[in-house]
Amino acid sequence: MILGIIGLPQTGKKTIFELLTGVPAAKAPTRDGITHGIAPVRDARVDTLSAMFNPKKTKYAEFELALPPDLQPDNARTASWLDPIRRTDALIHVVRAFESDNVFHILNTVDPARDIETVELEFLFADLAMTELRIERINKELRIKPSPQKEKEKEVIERCHAQLQDEKPLRNLEFNAEEMKLIRSLQFLTLKPMVTVINAGENLEEEKAKHKALTDMLLARGDTVVFLSAANEQEMLELDEAERDAFMADLGLSEPASHRLSRSAYGCLGLISFFTCGPDEVRAWPIPAGSTAPEAAGKIHSDLQRGFIRAETIRYEELIKAGSEKAAREAKLHKLNGKDYIVQDGDVIEIRFN
């Protein structure tokens, strides 16, 4: 699954990309003008399991990032800017809240609420145009041949159209599985889950208080909000571990905010993690929430899904409380689950297969 990074120019999008991927944007692979990267999901549970099993290799879950070109007055609502964003599954919207005489703002002043509305309106207008075109096409098709399925699709899209005319994003509407299937191909921009990153100055607590009304509005409409200072985060990368810990302590941080952002973005994609543990590797595997045990097995290898018999599972918390894999087995904490088992976030799994 792909998460796109969007926002006005000079907001810190490239820095966020680099913080999440650990790769300079200039050195990352580019296709059709879109910069791509892989972001590890910093998960303390992986670190704890790695300390318990002492494997040769430790691997976090990952997701893909896409960094499209900047939104400019001459490319707004154009296919070259919108299409790459439509192909993403969720979005990180980086918004500037920091003041700097050295960094130009395209709209001349720093105003996070205005900037969020500027980008949101571009998405609303693009989606509104999409609904109007689709309704027009369906009406033509219905005049030629009546279809209950087309009538249902028209009903759903008209509901979307009304929502957009009220200047409200589609992610605030509720759709059942059938309705989502009808509109999925339209790739509505305002339907995508959103993480809003407020890229602030050094004093994050002051910035949070200053922008509380904006944060409340974003949370009320279902967005995830992360406050950070990209400049501080970038500076941390250049420090050794002891200096970094001291720097974070001075800022009142228990971990880099970019780690928290990676988890927020991961959750925004609707993903959860299960773990496989052994002497060779401790690994977190990303799967969509609601996946079955055979689907989780297939994430590891297709042969495991085809030959799936049972999934032996233990909750991460139970394993850690037991103190070791051996102690957990002696306490008979592991459970055998069949094909219908829905994997839970934090399951430690061993697949039995034929």
Task: Choose the weakest-confidence range: 61-70, 120-129, 142-151, 199-208.
Answer: 199-208
Predicted TM-score (pTM) of the model is 0.90
pLDDT in tens, 66-117: 999 887 655 556 777 788 899 999 999 999 998 888 888 888 899 999 999 9
Q: Which residue has the higher pLDDT, 247 or 54?
A: 54
The neighbouring-strand residues paired with 93 are 6, 196
Give the pLDDT confidence score for residue 75 in this predicted structure. 57
The neighbouring-strand residues paired with 94 are 197
For the segment 231-253, the average pLDDT, to the nearest whole number, is 87
3-class secondary structure, 59: strand
Complete domains list, the chain, with CATH? 290-353 (3.10.20.30)
Give the pLDDT confidence score for residue 72 in this predicted structure. 67
| DSSP result, 274-314 | EEEE-SSEEEEEEEETT-BHHHHHHHH-HHHHHTEEEEEEE
For the segment 125-139, the average pLDDT, to the nearest whole number, is 96
| DSSP result, 120-161 | HHHHHHHHHHHHHHHHHHHHHHHHHS--HHHHHHHHHHHHHH
Find the distance separating the first CA and the last CA of the chain, reported in whole Å: 30
pLDDT in tens, 11-52: 999 999 999 999 999 999 998 889 999 999 999 999 999 999
Give the pLDDT confidence score for residue 101 in this predicted structure. 80
3-class secondary structure, 6: strand
- Which percentage of the chain shows pLDDT scores above 70? 98
Question: Mean pLDDT for the chain?
Answer: 93
Contact status, residue 313 vs residue 337, Cβ threshold 8 Å = yes
Give the pLDDT confidence score for residue 27 in this predicted structure. 94
For the segment 264-284, the average pLDDT, to the nearest whole number, is 96
pLDDT in tens, 158-214: 999 999 999 999 999 999 999 999 999 999 999 999 999 999 987 788 888 999 999
Task: Dig out the tokens for 191 from the structure.
Answer: 């339907």
